[in-house]
Amino acid sequence: MKRYKPKPRLYRGFRDIFASDLLMRQQMLDSIREVYELYGFAPLETPAVEFVETLGKFLPESQTPDGGIFSFQNEDDEWIALRYDLTASLSRVCAQYKDIQRPFRRCQVGPVYRLEKPGPDHFREFYQFDFDTVGTKSMMADAEGCCVLCDALEKIGIERGNYLIKVNNRKILNGVLETSGVGLIDTSTDDSRAMNVLRSIDKYDRIGLKGVKELLTTGREDASGDVMKGLGLSENEISPILEYLQVGTGDRVEVCDQLESIVGNSEIGMKGIEELREIDKNLRCLGYEEGQIVFDPTVVRGLGYYTGPVFEAVLTFEVKDEKGRVKSFGSIGGGGRYDDLVKRFTGQEVPATGASIGVDRLLEALKLVGKLEERSTSTSVLVAAMDKNHLFDYQLIAKELRSAGINTELYLGNKGIGGQFKYADKCKIPLVVVAGEDEFSAGELQIKDLEAGRELAKEVLDRETWRKDRPAQFAVKREDLVAKIKETLNL
Amino acid sequence: MKRYKPKPRLYRGFRDIFASDLLMRQQMLDSIREVYELYGFAPLETPAVEFVETLGKFLPESQTPDGGIFSFQNEDDEWIALRYDLTASLSRVCAQYKDIQRPFRRCQVGPVYRLEKPGPDHFREFYQFDFDTVGTKSMMADAEGCCVLCDALEKIGIERGNYLIKVNNRKILNGVLETSGVGLIDTSTDDSRAMNVLRSIDKYDRIGLKGVKELLTTGREDASGDVMKGLGLSENEISPILEYLQVGTGDRVEVCDQLESIVGNSEIGMKGIEELREIDKNLRCLGYEEGQIVFDPTVVRGLGYYTGPVFEAVLTFEVKDEKGRVKSFGSIGGGGRYDDLVKRFTGQEVPATGASIGVDRLLEALKLVGKLEERSTSTSVLVAAMDKNHLFDYQLIAKELRSAGINTELYLGNKGIGGQFKYADKCKIPLVVVAGEDEFSAGELQIKDLEAGRELAKEVLDRETWRKDRPAQFAVKREDLVAKIKETLNL
């Protein structure tokens, strides 16, 4: 009987991650966790599955099918979804447990899911690493959030000058919208006229002032010929918005002064500027200068739930990808204040602020700049299984190395010794321990150093010479094995 | 306008995990990872979402609605599901990537999802930590799997004698089924007569010989009055099965000898015994005795895809839960050989073996026996914010402590100093740094040691005395802060 064979494939937008990337990511996550915990954020974990109504509708992509989330009905016909961020779940937790102490400072890392159009660097499952303080109105918390981002990025090896935290305030954006006559943002939905204006402003980075103006008025046709409908704002309405977008990002105090001249008549706008001034003072006290944290009026942040300061972490350097194309990474994280998110459940305002690092995107960037120690595997030694009569010996050698803390694989496949070397080479295992009848009789073992071999091979033009000389292979006495392996591996 | 407020709640069977448990779990995962990597298993990560046909139907719970998995249709009307284990995804990976070197040795940790009836200790999302070797027929790999489980359990603090790895072989079970006349297991489905007999055998632990006999023949009514239909086997059919179940778990060689007397006429049964004998020899060579690893003919393992040796890790000690009830933990992991799982996709047999540790269940056990360092939070110090005029000072104190590697929270709430002490106490933060105008003028800070305070409080009968004496609070010079905190925390 011929059975149906399913095709081994991934649902698009999802991916497998192999050892080399995972080892780097682990290194990165450990550094980020260290910084978050240094600031007193303790870990929390929530399920990947939540009720749809817990998540709310805050995704900028909620125009896409199913509102950008993976949802399904459960056994009781309730709507369930995979979380699209960690913040909605945090709000649920804060509303659900009466005995949670506030301020509640937690950090959380885990995958989130978005039903978006996938692309080469754009996945539907990706990691976020968040920290938040729930239950604080203090601008010290928002300032601290910016500092945490700086410290975390520096901890994983991004030097000062190669990143920037850009800060803005939704209240100031509200002030501009009020001044322009568009009206205020409704944080309980992201489907308002004000949110659409914000989305146009959010594109400033890519499409410039002219592009934003088109989006706000009559519409815009992009390079590919796609037409975006305009929002139909009048000249009077767009004038303060365009002026606002040209403020730039100089000295933090000067930016506040300029913003005041634009939104000075809006109470909420002035409140936002006051908050930024307070953030600036705290940052100054702690020694975080404009080289690390700037005020940038063009920053919006996509999610609809922000109510105060918002911040975005960007990498400022350019790198070339494998094909030599210049790549600019842009935003690798961000966050802000969301005073109404717990209120959705309880009716009571619970001020909160926090941020998130987009772990996978950051990893891509760090790989390209070589900022992480690259290890293709966590395994250091392969014990070759050459002679069937010595299988117990090979197992004991492996056991001895493991007891000494050396990550060791015993070859369990069915290839000959040549195939085993090739295997170690392909798996990037640096050392192979080899022994046959001769070696065991002599009380010796051979160590083949594949990494040294690769280095040498680069220098040797003639493949035959390389083979004949067998560089990077040497004998050790059985009893010196562990010491010699440790020496070779620099352990 | 009164808005609809969703109730903050979890989908049943799902849960939130707070700092105390997470810190213990992290410690446990780090230990397990260390052992897995010591054996040369390199990390892999696959998505939580897979095509239903990738997962196959191997769950023993597939009688439940939707076959025990959370499934939904995607935008192309294909059936998608949350993975129920990590093995199916591993098989997909091995079938999908042509350049994967074999043996492929990987470890993977992550949540898996099962649509089962939830209970107090039974969740629908739980962590598994797997290791597998794909592409090896060698019984060294199966023996190694048992050793890895032993080493991992010992590494996290479970002493020898408190755990047991029970090993059996599906081929021997097949031999019994053949001898009895029931017929062989079909590994491509779990819905066969043979699998139903295995499921009855699997209950031996709980219902004993008499119970299994009832299930195999006329049916069984349990204590709650639920009736399980019998499988209708004849006396002749059940006779070798019952004899088999009484072999017991003595010396590994003796167990093999006894099994041989039962299934000696079955070719597949003899092959299974031969495999166990080989495993025994390897274990003996490596020094793993019957106190750690036994052969137990009653072990079945629920999943349908096993083809050879199967093993189960059990905790052998009993503990009392919070309510003083005696709890026996039983299985906290296991695995086995599954030679046909990759074949499902490719048609080619790819022998494979591996095992999984049920991280959450193990954590519950370790918590009750106090085998893990219990920390309620990762935060060591709370800097109290007492005096609004000194907010910059408090921030600088926090910064200084963090720079010294001390996890420090700056209080950002709006409570007074009494409330802040209470907060630190509830959050189990051991130390509070306090300073007001007097202290700053004198160049001093106060350190309140809440942990010491709690200890002292136990000894002091009179609450007023305790308050008056203010035990466990002391002054330090501003410049000695870091040194004194480190001393107090034993850092």
> In the structure, what pLDDT confidence band is assigned to residue A464 with cuts at 50, 70 and 90?
low
Q: How far apart are CA A488 and CA A172, in angstroms?
A: 60
Four-point Cα dihedral B187, B192, B193, B197, nearest 10: 60
* B349 and B400 fall within a common domain: no
When comparing pLDDT for A319 and B427, which is higher? Answer: B427
When comparing pLDDT for A61 and B406, which is higher? Answer: B406
* A385 and A344 fall within a common domain: no
Pairwise CB contact (< 8 Å): B410 & A144: yes
The pLDDT tens digits for B151-188 are 999 999 999 999 999 999 999 999 999 999 988 877 66
- CB-nearest to B80 from A11, A53, A66 is A11
Enter the tokens of residue A220: 């815009």
Query: Residue B58: what pLDDT?
Result: 65
Could you tell me if B414 lies within 8 Å of chain A, comparing CB atoms? Answer: yes
Q: How far apart are CA A83 and CA B60, in angstroms?
A: 28
User: B359 and B34 in contact (C-beta within 8 Å)?
Assistant: no
Section A442-446 average pLDDT: 96
* Closest residue of chain A to B409, computed from CA coordinates: A40
Query: Residue B1: what pLDDT?
Result: 46
* Closest residue of chain A to B80, computed from CA coordinates: A11
Could you tell me if B47 lies within 8 Å of chain A, comparing CB atoms? Answer: yes
Query: Residue B3: what pLDDT?
Result: 65
> In the structure, what pLDDT confidence band is assigned to residue B460 with cuts at 50, 70 and 90?
low
A189-198, A204-213, B446-455: which is most confident: A204-213
- CB-nearest to A10 from B47, B113, B427 is B47
CA distance B13 to chain A (A): 10
Pairwise CB contact (< 8 Å): B44 & A18: yes
How many beta-carbon contacts under 8 Å exist across A and B?
254
* B41 and B139 fall within a common domain: yes
Domain count, chain A: 2
Query: Residue B189: what pLDDT?
Result: 62
Residue B329: which of B288, B357, B310, B350 has the closest Cα? B357
Q: How far apart are CA A141 and CA B10, in angstroms?
A: 29
Could you tell me if B192 lies within 8 Å of chain A, comparing CB atoms? Answer: no
* A386 and A360 fall within a common domain: no
B residues 318-347 lying closer than 8 A (beta carbon) to A: 344-347
Query: How does the average pLDDT of chain B come out, rounded?
Result: 90
What CATH number should be reported for the domain holding residue B126?
A: 3.30.930.10
Which residue, chain included where needed, has tokens 């409140």? A271
* B397 and B292 fall within a common domain: no
Question: Final residue of a domain: which of B338, B369, B400?
Answer: B369
Question: Final residue of a domain: which of A349, A369, A389?
Answer: A369
Q: How far apart are CA A272 and CA B307, in angstroms?
A: 66
The pLDDT tens digits for B308-353 are 999 999 999 887 777 888 777 778 999 999 998 999 999 998 999 9
Query: Residue B470: what pLDDT?
Result: 46
Query: Residue A472: what pLDDT?
Result: 85
Question: Final residue of a domain: which of A347, A369, A391?
Answer: A369
Could you tell me if B9 lies within 8 Å of chain A, comparing CB atoms? Answer: yes
* B143 and B277 fall within a common domain: yes
Name chain B contacts of A66, Cβ cutoff 8 Å: 75
Asked whether residue A4 is assigned to any structural domain, the reply reads no
When comparing pLDDT for A18 and A457, which is higher? Answer: A18
Query: Residue A458: what pLDDT?
Result: 63
Query: Residue B466: what pLDDT?
Result: 45
CA distance B117 to chain A (A): 11
* Closest residue of chain A to B343, computed from CA coordinates: A5
B residues 416-445 lying closer than 8 A (beta carbon) to A: 423, 426-427, 429
CA distance B419 to chain A (A): 11
* A241 and A347 fall within a common domain: yes
CA distance B246 to chain A (A): 33
Asked whether residue A314 is assigned to any structural domain, the reply reads yes
Domain residues for B349?
19-169+269-369
Asked whether residue B250 is assigned to any structural domain, the reply reads no
What CATH number should be reported for the domain holding residue A428?
A: 3.40.50.800
The pLDDT tens digits for A259-292 are 999 999 999 999 999 999 999 999 999 999 999 9
Pairwise CB contact (< 8 Å): A72 & B74: no
CA angle, A344 as apex, A52 and A81 as ends, to 5°?
10
When comparing pLDDT for B272 and B227, which is higher? Answer: B272
Which residue, chain included where needed, has tokens 């933990």? B329
Asked whether residue A157 is assigned to any structural domain, the reply reads yes
Distance of CA B443 to the CA centre of its chain: 51
Assess whether pLDDT exceeds 60 at residue A487: yes
* B345 and B415 fall within a common domain: no
Q: How far apart are CA B132 and CA B102, in angstroms?
A: 12
* B422 and B359 fall within a common domain: no
Section A226-250 average pLDDT: 93
Asked whether residue B147 is assigned to any structural domain, the reply reads yes
Section A37-46 average pLDDT: 97
Asked whether residue B81 is assigned to any structural domain, the reply reads yes
**Helix A193-202 vs helix A170-180: crossing angle, to nearest 10:** 110
> In the structure, what pLDDT confidence band is assigned to residue A459 with cuts at 50, 70 and 90?
low
Pairwise CB contact (< 8 Å): A378 & B37: yes
CA distance A101 to chain B (A): 7
Asked whether residue A8 is assigned to any structural domain, the reply reads no
* B344 and B477 fall within a common domain: no
For A308, the 3-state DSSP assignment is: coil
Enter the tokens of residue A68: 């950008």
Assess whether pLDDT exceeds 50 at residue A1: no
When comparing pLDDT for B305 and A467, which is higher? Answer: B305
* B332 and B431 fall within a common domain: no
Half-sphere exposure of B335 (CA within 13 A, CB side): 29
User: Which of A370-379, B224-233, B390-399 is predicted least confidently?
Assistant: A370-379
CA distance A329 to chain B (A): 24
Pairwise CB contact (< 8 Å): B405 & A106: no
* A172 and A275 fall within a common domain: yes
Assess whether pLDDT exceeds 70 at residue B93: yes
Asked whether residue A374 is assigned to any structural domain, the reply reads no
